[in-house]
Amino acid sequence: MSDAQDATFVLPTSISVHRFTQMKVEAILNTEYQVTGEKTPLEHCLDESKDPEATIALLGLEGEEAEIAQDILECAMEGGEVDEIYGPRGGVLCILLPTTGPDQDTVFQTLEAEGGEEGADEHGFVHQPNELFSGLSPAQVWVGAGKHEMALAEQFLPELWGRMKDKEFKTPGHANTEWLSALRLWSYNPAQGYRGRVIDIVHQERNENLAKRRALYDRLGLETPLVAPAD
């Protein structure tokens, strides 16, 4: 098993640890702070500093967290590409899943086949719920986690580790299946300290983040199919 970033619990695979760190950085960049002028760090970078390294320095991020933040901010300054959704993205709902690419994305493959020579309809694809991302749409994956999703993850994952750490599993596959089953059950139950199910809170916060990103991009004249309103 692999240590989680803050070492207060353990996650079952190295990719789940990387996903946790990615989610943590996404939530930081999507949360308003006094040090960034009551703006999110992402908005501060695009609208004020114009410099990912300067914004990262304000946040005090180092090591892997700084590298992830740099990548997100640099991509955001260029607008955003659909292929950014693949990799360790998707937050807590996807934290136990393996990484994938377009070749494993049946929704994208179907839309590409239907599009013929013109290829997949990116606008239709980015807003369509996708089981590859535990039901999140590519746009929701791309915009990133927020503080409430991160809080829910930090509440649940240590609890899940406490349940799993003394269990004996015949194979790593059995362990991953049990972890994933527990995660799925939790996501469809009411969230502790919130009104509503975990999955609904995650979707709502990501939709709010997407609306804010759309307004920011409109103001700055940045374009990407990932922020275009759904039909």
pLDDT of residue 176: 83
Residues belonging to the chain: 231
pLDDT of residue 160: 93
Taking 70 as the threshold, does the pLDDT of residue 117 lie above it? no
Q: Smallest Cα–Cα separation from 186: which of 98, 107, 96?
A: 96
pLDDT of residue 190: 96
What CA–CA distances, in Å, run from 31 to 27, 89, 105, 162, 218? 6, 17, 30, 29, 20
pLDDT of residue 230: 66
Highest mean pLDDT: which range of 6-15, 66-75, 102-111, 175-184: 66-75
| Mean pLDDT, residues 203-217 | 96
Band (pLDDT 50/70/90 cuts) for residue 156 is: very high
Count of Cβ atoms closer than 10 Å to residue 221 Cβ: 7
pLDDT of residue 116: 53
Taking 50 as the threshold, does the pLDDT of residue 43 lie above it? yes
pLDDT of residue 80: 83
Predicted TM-score (pTM) of the model is 0.90
pLDDT of residue 73: 97
| Mean pLDDT, residues 36-64 | 96
User: Where does the chain show beta strands of DSSP type E?
Assistant: 2-3, 10-11
Mean confidence (pLDDT) of the chain: 89
Which letter does DSSP use for residue 48 in this model? I
